[in-house]
Amino acid sequence: MKSSDEKPNKKRFLTRRKFIYGAIGAACGDAFFIEPNISHISKNLLKLPHLPTSLNNLKIVHLSDLHYKPDKDENLLISIIDKVNNIKPDLIILTGDYVDHDTTGITPMLEHLSQLKANHGILACMGNHDGWTASGQYFKNAFEKHNIQFLINQNTALNINNETLYIAATDFIWNGNPNPLQTLKGIPSNAPLITMVHEPDYFDTMLKHRDHHLQLSGHTHGGQCRVPIINYAPRTVKYGKKYIYGKYSRENSSVFVTKGTGTTAIRVRFSCLPEIALHHLQA
């Protein structure tokens, strides 16, 4: 014989199951159709050793990992450029992975990126996907035609408010040819220095060659899908397992890893919106 409270229990079970299925459906809808298309601006105070006080609060917009696909990412990129130009940044730094696997998106992407405006210039470095797709020289020529300075194992001295700020960039790390000595050549030890290195875990190697600097990186996409509340991200990508997202400090230097704006493989993001990282430098 069935007990009298079996029916309410069954009803409760079905309601709970419906709720779980509904939550999973909503999360999938968000991850596949909403989050990959909406960027957010993060605001970060980053200390830069030796920064002259006259450059305090210098505004740097840091973008990375566009993985630009013209058929899917055009609206996202247009909205990002609009938001960045509204910030009126002093500098814009692009830390690699502009494409996924082919060069067809580069020309339309650069036509969009050429709309970016910054008071003291736009600088870019190689990412591993770029290096797996075409040569560094190919990217350098293409970007520099659009007034974006492209550094590969090189540095440049920017004159801002009559002060010097050094920006240096390695080649990509994953099967690339990074050369820290060549990258840092001629930079005085007491100069303010920002390095651009696509893969963040190379920070440990850069520290062997130079302390007192700030490294800007991408590559990890912040995990691309994070577990909300506990804010956990999987550590799956080579050279992006130690420094996943945000700011880390070691030995008078720091590295900031952005979530980037694009996606690889499946176009999915969860609890990890495309990021326009706005850094305010602190002396």
Site residues for Fe ion per CB under 5 A: 97, 127-128, 219
CB nearer to Fe ion: pick between 132 and 248: 132
Q: How far is the CB of 131 from Fe ion (least distance, A)?
A: 9
Q: How far is the CB of 202 from Fe ion (least distance, A)?
A: 12
Q: How far is the CB of 171 from Fe ion (least distance, A)?
A: 13
Q: How far is the CB of 66 from Fe ion (least distance, A)?
A: 11
- Exposed e or buried b per residue across 152-176, where buried means at least 16 C-beta atoms within 10 angstroms of its C-beta: bbbbeebebeeeebbbbbbbbbbeb
Q: CB–CB of 210/245 below 8 Å? A: no
Q: In what order do the strands lie in the sheet with 91-94?
A: 40-47, 275-282, 59-63, 91-94, 122-124, 149-150
- What number of helices (H) and strands (E) belong to the chain? 7, 12
Strand partners for 280? 45, 59
CB nearer to Fe ion: pick between 127 and 178: 127
CB nearer to Fe ion: pick between 129 and 192: 129
Q: CB–CB of 256/212 below 8 Å? A: no
| Cα diameter, the chain | 90
Number of other CB atoms surrounding residue 101 within 10 Å: 12
- The one-character DSSP state at 280 is E
Q: CB–CB of 84/42 below 8 Å? A: no
Q: Give the total residue count for the chain.
A: 283
- Between CA 136 and CA 134 the distance in angstroms is 7
Amino acid identity, residue 161?
N
Q: How far is the CB of 200 from Fe ion (least distance, A)?
A: 10
Q: Which two tokens stand for residue 66?
A: 């566009």
Q: How far is the CB of 113 from Fe ion (least distance, A)?
A: 18
CB nearer to Fe ion: pick between 127 and 223: 127
CB nearer to Fe ion: pick between 51 and 169: 169
CB nearer to Fe ion: pick between 131 and 192: 131
Residue nearest to Fe ion (CB): 219
Q: How far is the CB of 41 from Fe ion (least distance, A)?
A: 22
Three-state DSSP class for residue 273: coil
Q: How far is the CB of 219 from Fe ion (least distance, A)?
A: 4
- How far is C-alpha 75 from the geometric centre of its chain's CA atoms? 18
CB nearer to Fe ion: pick between 90 and 171: 171
CB nearer to Fe ion: pick between 128 and 253: 128
